[in-house]
Structure 1
Amino acid sequence: MTRTAPRALLALALLVPAAAGCGGGAEVGGPDTVTVTVGYQSKTINTVTVGTLLRSLGYFEEELEERGARDGVTYEVRWQDYATGAPITAQMTAGKIDIGSMGDFPLLLNAARGKQLDRPTRLVSVTGYNLRGGLNTIVTAPGSGLTSLRDLKGTKVSTSVGSAADGTLVRALQREGLDPDKDIRKLNQQPAVGASALQSGSADALSQFVAWPGLLAHQGRATALYDGAALGLPTFHGVTAREDFAEEHTAVLEDFLRAQIRATKYLREKPVAAAESVARATGLPAEVVYLYNGANGIATFGTAVRPDLVAALKQDVPVLASAGLVGDLDAESFVDAFVDDRYLRRAHGAGYDAALTAKAPAARGELWRKDGTTRSYDSPEALLSAVAADRGAVRAAYVPDATTGTPWFADKAVWVADGDALLPFLAPSAAADWIAAHPGARTLPYAQALERAAS
C-alpha cells in the first residue's frame, strides 16, 4: 500500500454520503416497489452477519422475495458500504438509510443525533461482541521501543474520536493515571489514515477497532501494546434502525433480523468458508478475518441484546459526554429508550430469553492448516507442538492471551516460559507483569517456544 492510498480512500469515503442520495424506504419505480437501504461497514468484520457476509449469502433478498410474493410488492435492497459509523448515522438521520450497523460508541452517537433531530433510531440487535473488550487494541510500530501505556506520555496517538477504540484509549490511559487530553496528542483519523500515519512515523501509536490491529500485526507493520480486554468491559457492534421505518415496515425489519439470524448460524457452522467469503469481498487476508470471526475468534456472534451489553452502553455515555460528543444525558433513561428488541424477539422466536445470558465459549488455541482443516487445542504447548511437527502445512495458528483470553497470532504473541509452561501474551506489559509476579519466568522468542514444545 502506498502512503497516498489511505488519503485517497478517505477522500472517497467523504464523498460517498453526498452520492448516496436515494431515499431509504422510499417507493422507487412505482407504488408497488419498496427499496430498503442498508448501511454497513465491510472492513469492520464483526458486523458481517448484517453486512458483507449477509449480502453475499443473499438471505435478506430471499426473505423479501417470499414476502413480496405474498404481499404483491417488489422489494429491492440497496447496500451502502462505509468505513465508520458516522456517515451511516448522517444518512439515517437524513432519512436515506433505513438500517445500519456500527460499534457501541457510534451507536450511542446515532441515538443522540436521532434524538437531537427528532429522527429517533433504535438498537434492534447485536452482531459480534467480546465481553472483556478484546475487539479494540492499541498498537505501535515494530521496534518503536514503546512497551507500556505509560510510554505513550508525550507521544502522538491516532484513533477515531467517538469510536469504541477511542473509548478504550481514554479508559486505559485514565487507569494508568494519565490524562488523555494532556499527556498525549490525540490524532483524530480514519482507520486507514491512522495506519498510514503509524507506518510513516507521524503517529507513535494507533488505537483502533476490529480488524485494523490484527491486520497491521499480520502484515508486520505493527506490534500490540495494549489489549482492550484488560479493561474487562464489554464491547460490541449492533444494528440500529430508524424508528419511523421500523413502525412503517415492521415486517421488513423482522425479515432483516431473520436473515441476520440465518447468517449468524452460517458463520458458526462454517467459520472457514465464512472467513474466505469475507476475505474475497473485502480484500482482507482470510487469516485476519478468522482471528476475529473464527470458531475461536475474538468476537462472539449472537443477535440477542444482552443485559450486560446494555449495561456497558450506559457506562459508555459519560465517556462520550466528557469528550463533548453528546450533551448532558441521563445514561439510564437515554439507553433504555434506545434499546428495542421487540422485533428481534419475534424474529428469533423460542429460545431468545436463554440467548440473553448465554456464556461465551472458553478460549482455545486453534490451528488452521493449508488443506482447509482446523483443529482446536486446550493448551499453548499442544498447539505449538502441532505447529512444530509440520510447519509447512500451517496456514495460521492462534493462541489466547494467558490472562485475558484474547486470541492472537501465535507468531506475534509475546511468549513466556514459566517452569514447564509456555504462556502467550498479546502485549509486552502483560508478559512483564506475569514475570514480575512469578520468579524464574522469562520471555523467549517464538522460535525457541516452538523448539521447547517440540521437545
Structure 2
Amino acid sequence: MPFKPLSVLPTAALNAAFTAALTVALAGAPASARAETIRVAIGTQDTTINCATGGLLIRELKLLEKYLPRDGRYKEVRYDIQWKNFTSGAPLTSEMVADKLDIGSMADFPGSNNGAAFLKAGKRSVFITVLSGSTLGSGNGIVVPRDSKVTLLSELKGHTISVPFASTAHGMLLRAVAAQGWDPQKDVTIITQAPEVAGPALQAGRIEAHADFVPFVELFEHRGVARKIYDGAQANAPTYHGSLVSAEYAEKYPEVIVAFLRAALEADRLIAAEPEKYSLLIEQVTGIDAAVNYLYHGPLGLQTRDLTWKPEYRQALRTSIETLKLMGRDSPLNADSFIDDRYIRAAFKQSGLDYEQRLANRDKLPLKAVDATTGRPITDVQRAAGIWVQGEPKVRHYASIENALADLRRIEAAGGKARAVYVHDLIHRIKLLAPTSWYAIDAKGQLSAFLQKDAAAAYAAANRGRVLDFAGAKAAGPTAL
C-alpha cells in the first residue's frame, strides 16, 4: 500500500496511513517483487560539514548497509547504493528532479528551491529531517579580507559582496541587507562567487566582502585569509541543513528512508561521543581542516546537530520560502506540507530514542570537562575556552580565557603549536576562532571575547577596560590592564 500524497490525507490520518503502509509492506510480497533491485541514490555535500551525519559519515562508516531492511518484502531485494558528492544544493536539486538521485542533503534555502523545482516539474519532494542547525541563525556569515579596515556590515554600503548564488548564505545576505534598510539592487552590488573562487579572491584583496555558508566563513578565517564581521546569529533567523527525498520514492520504499535516518542517528551519536576523531576523518575526506570541523561538531559548537523538527526550523523554512520572493521566485510551496516528520519519528522509535524529549531540548552538545590548568570542573561556560594542541588527540578545555592563554604561552614556549584556539562570544553565545576575535579586558584582568570590535569597545567602556586583539590578549598577563 503506497502512501497517499499528504495533500489528500486529513492530518489525523497521516500517522495511521504511515503505520498501515509499513505493516502491509512488511507482510511480504510476491517473489518476483522481492527479487527487485532497489536503487538508493544519495546526493551529499561533503564539504558542507554539518551535512556529515546525513552523508559523509554514513558512507565512510558503511552505516546504511547496517540498517537497510532484509526481511519481509525486502527479503530477496538487492540494493544498488550510489553516492554522489556536490559542493552546493542547486546542482544536487537538478539531479533529484531529473530522477538521478533519491535522497539529498542541503540547507533550508536551497531546500526551498528543491521543493519549488519539484512542484514546477509536476512532482513533489519532502524534507524528512534536520541534520544540524542553529535556532539563533549561526552558520552563515560575511567576511572581509584579513587586513580590511571594515569591521561592520553597515560599512559595506555601496560596496560589492560576493556569495554563492541560491545558497542559504545568499538568503541570509538578502535578509541582512534588508535589515539595514538598503535596496539590494542599489545600495550594494551582489555578485555570484563560489567558495573555491572566493578564497583566493579574499587572499588577493580582489573582493571587498564575501558571504558564505558552513564551513567556509570559518575556514577562510582559520587559514588566515579573512575575518568574520557578521554572523547569521545577529539576524536572529534560525537556519539548518537537512535531508530531502522524492515523495514518490519515500511512499514506495518507506522502510528504506527510515533505515537511512537510523544510519544518520548513529552517525550523530558517534560524532557526539568522539568529535575530535571524526573531525579528523572529515578533514581526511574533504580537506576541511579538523579545527573547523570541531568548531561545529564539538561541545558548545557553532551549530547544534539535531534531527528533530523544532518550531524554529519550521519557521526557517517558511522564511526561506518568503526569501524566494525577494529573488522574484514565487512558488506555491507550503512549508507545513513540505515537511514530513513521520519517517524521522519512526527512526527514533526503532532506535529506542525519545523524539519528543529531543524535540523539547534546545541545548548544544554540553561541555563536560575540567579546566586543564586547575583540574576543577567547568561549570560556567560563557567565558570558557579550548586549545587543540597539534599532535594531541583531544582538545584541552579551560574555565576562562586567561587560563587558556596562559597555557598557550607555556605550550608555545615549550615548542608546541596549537591546531586551534576557541573562545565564545559573550553576547551571541557562539563559538569563535580566537585569533580573529576581539577582546575586552576589564579592571580585574578578566578577558571577554567578541565577534565584533564595536561590541568589545562598548563592554570595555562599561567596565573600565580596554580593547585587545588576539596578540594583545595573549601578551596580557592574567591581571594586567
TM-score for the superposition, normalised by structure 2: 0.83
* Alignment correspondent of 1:368: 388
* Alignment correspondent of 2:79: 75
Alignment of 1:327-342 (within 5 A): 327=330, 329=332, 334-342=334-342
CA contact (8 A) 2:152 2:230 kept: yes
1:119-160 deviation line (CA, Å, top 9, x unaligned):
100010011111111101100002121111121112111112
CA contact (8 A) 2:161 2:207 kept: yes
The one of 412, 423, 447 aligned to 2:471? 447
How many percent of aligned residue pairs carry the same amino acid? 33
CA contact (8 A) 2:69 2:259 kept: no
Q: Following the alignment from structure 2 to structure 1, what is the Cα–Cα distance between the partners of residues 337 and 458?
A: 42
The answer to whether structure 1 residue 345 and structure 2 residue 369 are counterparts is no
Q: Following the alignment from structure 1 to structure 2, what is the Cα–Cα distance between the partners of residues 422 and 191?
A: 33
* Alignment correspondent of 1:269: 273
CA contact (8 A) 2:70 2:76 kept: no
Per the TM alignment, residue 393 of structure 1 is displaced from its structure 2 partner at its CA by: 5.4
CA contact (8 A) 1:141 1:221 kept: yes
Count of matched residue pairs: 421
Q: Which amino acid aligns with 2:432?
A: W
Q: Following the alignment from structure 1 to structure 2, what is the Cα–Cα distance between the partners of residues 77 and 428?
A: 49
Q: Which amino acid aligns with 2:171?
A: G
1:360-403 deviation line (CA, Å, top 9, x unaligned):
23664322233212233333233323323323253322111111
CA contact (8 A) 2:240 2:316 kept: no
CA contact (8 A) 1:122 1:243 kept: yes
Supply the RMSD in Å over aligned alpha carbons. 2.1
* Alignment correspondent of 2:317: 313
Secondary structure of the 1:305 match is: coil
Alignment of 1:37-186 (within 5 A): 37-64=41-68, 66=70, 71-186=75-190
Secondary structure of the 1:37 match is: strand
The answer to whether structure 1 residue 240 and structure 2 residue 228 are counterparts is no
The answer to whether structure 1 residue 416 and structure 2 residue 440 are counterparts is yes
Q: Following the alignment from structure 1 to structure 2, what is the Cα–Cα distance between the partners of residues 359 and 381?
A: 29
The answer to whether structure 1 residue 192 and structure 2 residue 212 are counterparts is no
Which is worse superposed, 160-169 or 359-368?
359-368
Which is worse superposed, 230-239 or 38-47?
230-239
Q: Following the alignment from structure 1 to structure 2, what is the Cα–Cα distance between the partners of residues 210 and 432?
A: 28
Unaligned 5+ runs, structure 2: 1-33, 367-380
Q: Following the alignment from structure 2 to structure 1, what is the Cα–Cα distance between the partners of residues 459 and 99?
A: 52
Q: Following the alignment from structure 1 to structure 2, what is the Cα–Cα distance between the partners of residues 247 and 339?
A: 14
1:313–1:70 CA distance, 2 compared to 1 (3 A): closer
Q: Following the alignment from structure 1 to structure 2, what is the Cα–Cα distance between the partners of residues 69 and 274?
A: 35
Q: Which amino acid aligns with 2:436?
A: K
Unaligned 5+ runs, structure 1: 1-29
* Alignment correspondent of 1:431: 456
1:172–1:419 CA distance, 2 compared to 1 (3 A): farther
* Alignment correspondent of 2:8: none
1:386-434 deviation line (CA, Å, top 9, x unaligned):
3233232533221111111121111221122232321111233433444
Which is worse superposed, 122-131 or 31-40?
31-40
Secondary structure of the 2:68 match is: helix
Q: Which amino acid aligns with 2:359?
A: L
Q: Following the alignment from structure 1 to structure 2, what is the Cα–Cα distance between the partners of residues 408 and 389?
A: 22
* Alignment correspondent of 1:14: none
Q: Following the alignment from structure 2 to structure 1, what is the Cα–Cα distance between the partners of residues 457 and 229?
A: 12
Name the larger-Rg structure: 2
Secondary structure of the 1:356 match is: helix
Q: Following the alignment from structure 2 to structure 1, what is the Cα–Cα distance between the partners of residues 299 and 182?
A: 37
Which is worse superposed, 187-196 or 349-358?
187-196
Secondary structure of the 2:295 match is: helix
CA contact (8 A) 1:321 1:327 kept: yes
* Alignment correspondent of 1:285: 289
Which is worse superposed, 389-398 or 100-109?
389-398
The one of 359, 371, 389 aligned to 2:362? 359
CA contact (8 A) 1:131 1:233 kept: yes
Per the TM alignment, residue 356 of structure 1 is displaced from its structure 2 partner at its CA by: 1.1
Which is worse superposed, 72-81 or 336-345?
72-81
CA contact (8 A) 2:35 2:76 kept: no
CA contact (8 A) 1:121 1:338 kept: yes
Per the TM alignment, residue 224 of structure 1 is displaced from its structure 2 partner at its CA by: 1.2
Per the TM alignment, residue 36 of structure 1 is displaced from its structure 2 partner at its CA by: 0.7
CA contact (8 A) 2:70 2:77 kept: no
Q: Following the alignment from structure 2 to structure 1, what is the Cα–Cα distance between the partners of residues 228 and 417?
A: 26
Secondary structure of the 2:158 match is: coil
Per the TM alignment, residue 328 of structure 1 is displaced from its structure 2 partner at its CA by: 5.2
TM-score for the superposition, normalised by structure 1: 0.87
CA contact (8 A) 2:69 2:255 kept: no
The answer to whether structure 1 residue 386 and structure 2 residue 407 are counterparts is yes
Q: Following the alignment from structure 1 to structure 2, what is the Cα–Cα distance between the partners of residues 208 and 442?
A: 31
* Alignment correspondent of 2:223: 219
Q: Following the alignment from structure 2 to structure 1, what is the Cα–Cα distance between the partners of residues 190 and 228?
A: 18
Which is worse superposed, 117-126 or 353-362?
353-362
The one of 203, 207, 228 aligned to 1:203? 207
Q: Which amino acid aligns with 1:385?
A: A
Secondary structure of the 1:389 match is: helix
1:72-105 deviation line (CA, Å, top 9, x unaligned):
1111211100010001111111111100000110
CA contact (8 A) 1:162 1:320 kept: no
